[in-house]
Copies of this chain bind each other. A is one copy, B any other.
Amino acid sequence: MEPRLKLWLERNGRIVMSEYRLRLLALVAETGSLAEAAERMGLSYRRAWGKIKELERNLDLPLVESAAGGVGGGHTTITAEGRDLLRRFAEFQTQAEAAVNAAYERAFTRDRLQGAGNS
């Protein structure tokens, strides 16, 4: 038996960060291209753009900057605020997962529950 968890952040009842959104932002940071990030996530460019704009509105922070033109078209970079959010959420995720595993061990690996405990 093993613990599983899903984490996200809300602000005023709206999702402002999740594992999915983290992945999209991290791909923008990594590739410098929203088109490329969207493609790797199997999203349309329009949908990926919409997600990021929604996050920016809900967080009241700029997360990406776009520059048009140049050879090969425009590119999208992540802002300092976006990078900070990514770093913090990744840290939160890592620590939360470790803590949840520890809580599981404490609650479930003392005697009893043999049926489920041995798998």
- Chain A positions near chain B (C-beta within 8 angstroms): 1-12, 16, 59-61, 81, 84-85, 88-89, 91-92, 95-96, 99-100, 102-104, 106-108, 112-113, 115-116, 119
Extra contacts besides A4-B9, A99-B99 (7): CB < 8 Å: A1-B9, A1-B16, A3-B8, A60-B116, A61-B113, A81-B113, A81-B115
Copies of this chain: 2
Complex: A3 Cα to B10 Cα, angstroms: 6
Quick check: A103 and B96 within 8 Å, CB to CB? yes
Taking CB atoms, residues of chain B closer than 8 Å to A1 are 9-11, 16, 59
A87 and chain B: residue at smallest CB distance: B107
Known interface pairs A85-B113, A106-B95, A107-B91; A7-B5 also in contact (CB < 8 Å): yes
Taking CB atoms, residues of chain B closer than 8 Å to A8 are 3-5
